[in-house]
Amino acid sequence: MAAGVTSVLFQRFRGPLVAGYLLAGILIGPRMPLSLVEDREIIRLLSELGVVLLMFSLGLELRIRQLARAVSTAGFSMAVEVGLMLALGYAAGQAMGWTPLASLFTAAAVSISSTSIVSQIFREQGIGGSLREGVLGVLVFEDFAVILFIALLTAASQGQQLSGADLAWLIIRLVAVLLAFLVLGMLVVPRAVRLVGTLKRDETMVVVAAGLCFGMAWLAAEAGFSVALGAFLAGVLAAESGLARIIERQVQPLRDMFAAIFFVAIGMLFDPALVISSWNAILGFVALVIVGKTLGVSLGRFLAGRGVRESVQSGLSLAQIGEFSFVIAAIGVSSGAAPPLLGAIAISVSVTTAIISPFLIQRSGTLAAWIDSRLPHPVQTAACLYGAWVETLRTTRRDRSRWRWLRQAAGWLAVDAGMMALLIIIGATAAEWISAAIRSLGWPQVIAPWLVRLGVTALVAPFLFGIVRKARQVGMGLARMAIPEPLHGVDNGRAPRRTLATGLQLGVVLVVGVPLVVVTQPFVPGGSGVVLLLAMVLLLGMAFYRSANDLMGHVRAGAELVVSALAKQSHHEEGVIPQARHMLPGLGDFEAVRITPGCEADGKTLGELGLRGRTGATIVAVLRGDERIVFPEAHEHLSAGDFVAITGSHDAIEAALPLLSVTGRAPTAELPTFFLTPRLTP
């Protein structure tokens, strides 16, 4: 009843329904004067039923092939963002004085965004295109990560302790259970579901789907993992039957009802007095989620080849936590592994960020354009071209020998990271024994721990340098694939290739370093792992800025040649643009456009138009009569009749064309002859 009332009210005022269900639970919970529901076991059972159906529906939405195709973009972005939030969340838990296991629950709870909240806001605001596709792709990989978190943390909380051996054994068990469920399930479940589908009975499909969901949840619980893992795998296996849409449509009413009950049950656990007494900690976690997730997603999306604008918009869109944060927090609190305050923090932060998210998403385009306009000019140019380079890398023909070398380098990166983690864990586990042995030799008690740390650091340092060196080699190898070196003559692509290699090196260091920090953080003092990773990122960022400065000379020298080459291309001069790209590799796609009357650019300055911030493309030259302007400034006006040359990725140029011309690309015959005379600066 309470959920029905709050659902209608929040729908009427366009608020997130999740917040309404939570409010309903708070109002009827045992800590409020009404106190209509007091049996904690009933609350726990209702909550668990809701989790099972939520995870089953999530599994229906996933496809193994889709996940494989999106690993290089959405999967990479998720790895950077979730890894960063795990490190920050664990550090926050330690700052609260909680145990390592409670800190891990905290880290997992603050690392997962809300699929339901984001999809609802996108639907209400009519957001689509590549932004929607990219954000939902990251959410899919986050949801997959939730399964691993729940499975590992549920098993770890049963022992109330966490060690390297326990963690390794949990991972081995999890992999074995996943393989058994998937291999055996693929042989039985899809065929059985297709057989039921031939009966054409909705009632039968609902009952069979619910039976499959709860049956595999029970098997997972018997194997020592969470019921959520089994329900999720049931959904994945049922989706492989090809009837996922039909099953989802039939199960949706059942799922929606129990999902509402789940959120209400979570709200019943909410303790207002605890929230009031810990308001400062809650505000700190709200800031951690908004800033950390915005930064992590934006950085991951940019390094994956998306522009500054889309990257920042994606980060602002995912700056919240949601339903699965409640699940993780509830598991920790109910098992006694985490304090009750974690549940209050998860609910409070989720409700607060759910209220803020619509405003952040609505203004994300403006904020992204503002951030882009504040970047140094070399960084703006490098960011614009970086997306084009990564786009070229994805479409480059695969060279077997080169890819074999890259796979070997990736293997050595994994070996170096594994050895670092192993040495750190062994050093932390045996620290007391080694310190006692040192003291038995007559060394002062104060010196012994420092000698242990120094020894572990000395052993770890070669592998750390190996990671940095191999990351550089991988980055340069990929950069050579995107911008090949000439067989002879002058290497005109050296500057863009070095900039791309530095950016890719930064991405590789993050992909390897963030999980390494997460795994070793419980075994190192304070936040030293996070500090070391941030220092490495800062150094690589400075190197990227230096290479971006060098890139500016290359781009300026080639801007007029690009314009001239584009102007020369006509029906009688095919191949001129490929020749220009061969002469000036690394300048991305480029296009000549005539500003037409009535278009958005007509009569505006470049700063007012904000082309780069809105589309990711940048104007490298303007031709107005006999005047040629290379790299125009923000105050430069555009008028009908001007010819402009734009560069960037293919998607960026396609997005920019409607803003510059109502007719699209400029006809070659209209281009003035002045365009045809290249004048290169020294």
Q: Which of 614, 583, 610 is nearest to 678 (CA)?
A: 583
Do residues 138 and 314 lie in contact, with contact meaning Cβ atoms separated by under 8 Å? yes
The CA–CA distances, whole Å, from 223 to 176, 296, 480 equal: 10, 35, 48
Alpha-helix runs per DSSP H in 32-163: 40-60, 64-69, 76-95, 100-109, 115-125, 129-159
Q: What is the mean pLDDT of residues 607-636?
A: 75
Residue 270 has pLDDT above 80, yes or no: no
Q: What is the pLDDT of residue 446?
A: 67
Q: What is the pLDDT of residue 290?
A: 93
Most confident of the following: 44-53, 245-254, 280-289, 414-423: 280-289
User: Which CATH number applies to 2-374?
Assistant: 1.20.1530.20
Do residues 562 and 620 lie in contact, with contact meaning Cβ atoms separated by under 8 Å? yes
pLDDT band at 526 (very low <50, low <70, confident <90, very high): low
Residues 573-604 as b/e (b if ≥16 CB within 10 A, e otherwise) read eeebbeebbeebbbbbbbbbbbbbeebbbbeb
Residue 411 has pLDDT above 90, yes or no: no
Q: What is the pLDDT of residues 559-592, one digit of tens each?
A: 666 656 555 543 334 444 455 556 666 666 667 7
Q: What is the pLDDT of residue 565?
A: 54
pLDDT band at 623 (very low <50, low <70, confident <90, very high): confident
Q: Which of 180, 111, 95 is nearest to 148 (CA)?
A: 111
Which H or E run includes 431?
helix 431-440
Residue 674 has pLDDT above 80, yes or no: no
pLDDT band at 69 (very low <50, low <70, confident <90, very high): low
Residue 671 has pLDDT above 50, yes or no: no
Burial of 538 (0-12, 13-18, 19+ CB in 10 A): exposed
Q: What is the pLDDT of residue 500?
A: 85
Q: What is the mean pLDDT of the chain?
A: 77
Q: What is the pLDDT of residue 666?
A: 47
Q: What is the pLDDT of residue 99?
A: 84
At the topology level, CATH places domain 588-676 in Alpha-Beta Plaits (3.30.70)
Q: What is the pLDDT of residue 95?
A: 86
Q: Which two tokens stand for residue 362?
A: 């609505």
Q: What is the pLDDT of residue 255?
A: 76
d(CA 677, CA 279): 67
Q: Which two tokens stand for residue 611?
A: 């082309």
pLDDT band at 668 (very low <50, low <70, confident <90, very high): very low
More confident residue, 19 or 539: 539
Q: What is the pLDDT of residues 31-40, one digit of tens each?
A: 777 777 777 6
Q: What is the pLDDT of residue 401?
A: 64
DSSP class of residue 72? I
Q: What is the mean pLDDT of residues 246-267?
A: 79
Q: What is the mean pLDDT of residues 606-614?
A: 77
Q: What is the pLDDT of residue 559?
A: 67
Residue 404 has pLDDT above 60, yes or no: yes
Q: What is the pLDDT of residue 285?
A: 92
* % of residues, the chain, pLDDT over 90: 2
d(CA 145, CA 147): 5
Distance in angstroms between the alpha carbons of the first and the last residue of the chain: 77
* Angle ∠(191,220,205) on CA atoms, nearest 5: 35
Question: Which residues are CB-neighbours of 211 under 8 A, at least 6 positions away?
Answer: none
Q: What is the mean pLDDT of residues 593-605?
A: 83
Residue 88 has pLDDT above 50, yes or no: yes
Q: What is the pLDDT of residue 291?
A: 92
Q: What is the pLDDT of residue 574?
A: 43
Q: What is the pLDDT of residue 437?
A: 72
* % of residues, the chain, pLDDT over 70: 82
Residue 206 has pLDDT above 90, yes or no: no
Q: What is the mean pLDDT of residues 120-143?
A: 77
Do residues 645 and 621 lie in contact, with contact meaning Cβ atoms separated by under 8 Å? yes
Q: What is the mean pLDDT of residues 598-607?
A: 82
Q: What is the mean pLDDT of residues 430-438?
A: 72
Q: What is the mean pLDDT of residues 617-631?
A: 74
Q: What is the pLDDT of residue 63?
A: 67
Residue 166 has pLDDT above 70, yes or no: no
Domain ranges in the chain are 2-374, 377-555, 588-676
pLDDT band at 527 (very low <50, low <70, confident <90, very high): low
Beta bridge partners of 630: 621
Q: Which of 95, 199, 200, 103 is nearest to 153 (CA)?
A: 103
Q: What is the pLDDT of residue 546?
A: 85
Orientation of helix 308-317 relative to helix 115-125, angle to 10° = 120
More confident residue, 360 or 392: 360
Residue 215 has pLDDT above 80, yes or no: yes
pLDDT band at 595 (very low <50, low <70, confident <90, very high): confident
pLDDT band at 682 (very low <50, low <70, confident <90, very high): very low
Counts for the chain of helices (H) and strands (E), in that order: 28, 4
Q: What is the pLDDT of residues 468-490, one digit of tens each?
A: 888 888 888 888 887 777 777 67
Radius of gyration of the chain, Cα coordinates, nearest whole angstrom:
28
Of 95-99, 245-249, 663-667, 668-672, which range is least confident? 668-672
pLDDT band at 287 (very low <50, low <70, confident <90, very high): very high
Of 148-157, 271-280, 358-367, 535-544, which range is least confident? 148-157
Q: What is the pLDDT of residue 288?
A: 93
At residue 647, the 3 state secondary structure works out as strand
Q: What is the pLDDT of residues 302-356, one digit of tens each?
A: 888 777 888 888 899 898 887 778 778 888 887 788 888 888 888 888 878 877 8
Question: Which residues are CB-neighbours of 538 under 8 A, at least 6 positions away?
Answer: none
Q: What is the pLDDT of residues 292-305, one digit of tens each?
A: 999 989 888 888 87
Q: What is the mean pLDDT of residues 144-158?
A: 75
Q: What is the mean pLDDT of residues 257-275?
A: 77
Which amino acid is located at 140 in the chain?
V
Scan for tokens 């950390």, then name that residue: 292
Q: What is the mean pLDDT of residues 120-139?
A: 76
* Chain centre distance of CA 36: 41
Handedness of CA 548, 549, 554, 558 (dihedral sign): positive
d(CA 345, CA 283): 9
